[in-house]
């Protein structure tokens, strides 16, 4: 118990410190900091910027105190939150907005979304950055809800997310001695990303089923095809949770339907709590690369060396100078730049080596570059 209290106290102090730095930088040092960023950018110290957002009020409070006046001031204004480092050399920095995705998705907030993109492009020009990465659901929200073109230098998250999940599946399959041809995979939710992931995995010979869901007004979640979905979940060796929040997975009772022996690759934020499910949980949205880190680490249990999967498209384009439209080519390029799942430290089972878990050799070229 004392250890838990000590951990809670450290977490609270870390939140207060992060809030203080965020407010000091965002209010007192706002314009001097832009000046410094502009100067450093001329010397090549900023090659990418990455925009993050909170998924709920708790994550939002990790940066900005829950004070209406402050939230209104920072709304739609990307504010520096930390550095993206490669060793001791900065590759760029990440920015924070306090706006929740539900707020940004509203059509009445189209001007807010357009203002965010306009400010990102201004920051990119100021800093001399090559690419702009958009975390999580920002890309789909901007493109589908507000008709903002997702073209370089703006990079949405989908390819990075699919790469991260596929790498996590490879690692978990190896660690749990699951053959690639025999693996049964159930994908819960995900929309366009879920469909893309299913097609990508089926090319490797995996048997995938998508469990489409609907949300009730009360927040309860139901599979669209009840019996078929229950059968898919009950038989699955691996379950990929693409629902937005960990609570959604619990509210849908998917953990009760699935086999206790199944592994759950969780892509939700905030994540599913391990103590509340019978299955073993693995993070599917975290990557790593030798020497790369976010400093300070993102809130929500992230470590500095853990890179958000959604940052990969912008980071890879910045490092390689290439824009990959084909997913297979994108994944090969990411591996060639040493990106891998943060689960790479899982001990592989001797019966199944990583060479038996599929990689892709489909043809295709990287297309285009960016200005």
> pLDDT of 179-206, one tens digit each?
767 789 999 987 888 888 999 988 877 8
The answer on 91 and 16 residing in a single domain is: yes
Query: Could you please report the per-residue DSSP string of 168-218?
Result: HHHHHHHHTT--TTT-EEEEE--HHHHHHHHHHHHTTT-EEEEE-EEE-TT
Per residue in 216-249, pLDDT (tens digit) is 666 566 666 677 778 888 899 999 999 988 888 8
Mean pLDDT of the chain: 85
Q: How many domains does the chain have?
A: 2
Tokens, residue 181: 């041809």
pLDDT given at position 353: 37
Last residue of a domain, one of 97, 122, 156: 156
Answer whether residue 348 shows pLDDT above 70: no
Q: What is the Cα–Cα distance from 231 to 189, expressed in whole angstroms?
A: 16
The verdict on residue 354 lying in a domain is: no
Q: What is the Cα–Cα distance from 115 to 118, expressed in whole angstroms?
A: 5
Answer whether residue 287 shows pLDDT above 60: yes
The residue-averaged pLDDT of 340-366 equals 52
The answer on 151 and 7 residing in a single domain is: yes
Per residue in 75-119, pLDDT (tens digit) is 999 999 999 999 999 999 999 999 998 899 988 899 999 999 999
CB atoms within 10 A of CB 185: 24
Taking each helix axis as running N to C, give the angle between helix 312-320 and helix 158-175, from 0 to 180 degrees, rounded to the nearest 10. 100
Query: Which residue range is the domain that position 231 belongs to?
Result: 159-288+340-346
The answer on 173 and 145 residing in a single domain is: no
Task: Report the length, in residues, of the chain.
Answer: 371
Answer whether residue 361 shows pLDDT above 60: no
The verdict on residue 299 lying in a domain is: no
Answer whether residue 282 shows pLDDT above 80: yes
Identify the residue with better confidence: 359 or 97.
Answer: 97
Contacts of 7 by beta carbon, 8 Å cutoff, 6+ apart: none
The answer on 39 and 21 residing in a single domain is: yes
pLDDT given at position 367: 47
The verdict on residue 318 lying in a domain is: no
Q: What is the Cα–Cα distance from 258 to 273, expressed in whole angstroms?
A: 16
The answer on 249 and 223 residing in a single domain is: yes
The answer on 175 and 246 residing in a single domain is: yes
Last residue of a domain, one of 156, 185, 210: 156
Answer whether residue 314 shows pLDDT above 80: yes
The answer on 140 and 40 residing in a single domain is: yes
pTM of the model: 0.88
Last residue of a domain, one of 156, 180, 201: 156
The answer on 147 and 21 residing in a single domain is: yes
pLDDT given at position 358: 41
pLDDT given at position 222: 64
């Amino acid at each position: 118990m004392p250890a838990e209290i000590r951990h809670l106290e450290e977490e609270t102090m870390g939140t207060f410190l992060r809030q203080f730095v965020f407010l000091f930088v965002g209010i007192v040092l706002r314009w001097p900091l832009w000046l410094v960023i502009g100067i450093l950018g001329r010397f090549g110290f900023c090659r990418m910027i990455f925009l993050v957002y909170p998924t709920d009020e708790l994550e939002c409070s990790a940066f900005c105190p829950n004070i209406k006046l402050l939230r209104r001031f920072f709304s739609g204004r990307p504010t520096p939150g930390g550095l993206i480092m490669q060793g001791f050399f900065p590759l760029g920095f990440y920015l924070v907005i306090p706006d929740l995705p539900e707020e940004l998705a509203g059509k009445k907030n189209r001007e807010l979304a357009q203002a965010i993109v306009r400010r990102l492009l201004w920051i990119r020009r100021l800093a001399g950055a090559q690419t702009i990465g958009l975390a999580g659901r920002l890309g789909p929200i901007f493109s589908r809800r507000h008709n903002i073109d997702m073209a370089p230098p703006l990079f949405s998250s989908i390819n990075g997310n699919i790469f991260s999940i596929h790498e996590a599946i490879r690692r978990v399959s190896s660690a749990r001695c699951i053959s690639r041809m025999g693996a049964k995979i159930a994908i819960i939710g995900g929309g366009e990303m879920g469909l893309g992931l299913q097609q990508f995995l089926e090319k490797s010979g995996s048997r995938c089923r998508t469990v489409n869901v609907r949300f009730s007004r009360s927040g309860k979640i139901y599979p669209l095809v009840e019996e078929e979905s229950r059968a898919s979940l009950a038989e699955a060796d691996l379950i990929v949770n693409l629902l937005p929040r960990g609570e959604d997975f619990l509210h849908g009772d998917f953990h009760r339907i699935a086999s206790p022996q199944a592994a759950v690759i969780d892509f939700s934020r905030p994540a599913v709590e391990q103590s509340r499910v019978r299955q073993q949980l693995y993070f599917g949205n975290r990557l790593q690369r030798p020497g790369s880190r976010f400093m300070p680490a993102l809130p929500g249990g992230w470590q500095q060396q853990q890179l958000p999967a959604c940052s990969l498209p912008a980071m890879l384009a910045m490092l390689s100078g290439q824009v990959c439209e084909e997913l297979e080519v994108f994944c090969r390029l990411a591996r060639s730049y040493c990106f891998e799942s943060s689960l790479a430290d899982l001990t592989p089972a001797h019966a199944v080596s990583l060479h038996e878990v599929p990689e892709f050799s489909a043809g295709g070229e990287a297309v285009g570059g960016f200005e």
